[in-house]
Amino acid sequence: MEIKEAQELLSALPAREQLEALIDYGKQLKEFSETEKKEENKVPGCVSTAYLTVEVKENKVYFSGYSDALTIKGYLAILINGFNGMNVKEFLSTAESIVKEFITKTKLQASLTPSRANTLGNIIAIMIKKVRQQV
């Protein structure tokens, strides 16, 4: 599913339903390898424990992620589903603005605590950093 699709769906919902939908996304996040739950894969600055890995194959990005909080899992699911399979160049040039628009349109920042408001920003920053390290 594209990020735009999730953005439209979430933007149309009132705060409570929006949060529940985010949790539902979280429940759909694919399993994450236990062996990858290590310090180097941790997402720093996140209030819950979250991990993120990236693989670049045939010039395309493939992410995996995990969090012990469903809301963070929800963010991860949206970003991972949205970006997986994207061309590296396209990812590096558009990812940040896509996420920025997602935050503005869904107003998810307003419905989460300040410490969490940065989470999405943290996750995408880590995603970009990890991809840059591999190319």
Partner 1 sequence: MNNFPILKRQVYGNKLIYLDNAATTQKPEIVLQAMDNYYRDYNANVHRGIHLLAEEATVAYEKVREQVAKFINAESEEIIFTKSTTESLNLLAYSLTQNLKKNDEIILTVMEHHSNLVPWQQLAKQRGLVIKYVPIKTNGELKLDTFNKLLTKKTKIVSLTHLSNVLGTINPIKEIAKKVHSFGATLVVDAAQSVPFMQIDVKELNCDYLAFSGHKMYGPTGVGVLYGKKTLLEKLPPFLYGGDMIEKVTLKETTFNTVPYKFEAGTPNIAEVIGLGAAIKFLQEENINTIKSHEEELTKYALKELNKINSLTVYGPQKRGPLISFTIKNVHPHDITALLDKDGIASRAGHLCAMPLLQELNVDGVIRVSFGVYNTKEEIDFFIKSLNKAIKVCNGN
Touching partner 1, residues 37-56 (CB under 8 A): 47-49
Size of the site for partner 1 (CB under 8 A): 19
User: Which helix (H) or strand (E) segment is 28 a member of?
Assistant: none
Structure tokens at 43: 């997402």
With CB under 8 A as the contact rule, the residue among 68, 85, 87, 94 that binds partner 1 is 68
**Cα Rg for the chain, rounded, in angstroms?**
14
Site for partner 1 in 17-36 (CB under 8 A): 19-20, 23, 27
Binding flag, residue 113, partner 1 (CB under 8 A): yes
Is residue 108 within 8 A of residue 18, CB to CB? The reply is yes
Q: How many CB atoms lie within 10 A of CB 47?
A: 15
Q: Is 11 in the site for partner 1 (CB under 8 A)?
A: no
Q: Does 69 bind partner 1 (CB under 8 A)?
A: yes
In the numeric block, which tokens belong to residue 16? 């409570």
54 or 67: CB nearest partner 1: 67
What's 84's DSSP letter? T
Give the residues lining the site for partner 1 (CB under 8 A).
Answer: 14-16, 19-20, 23, 27, 47-49, 68-72, 111-113, 116
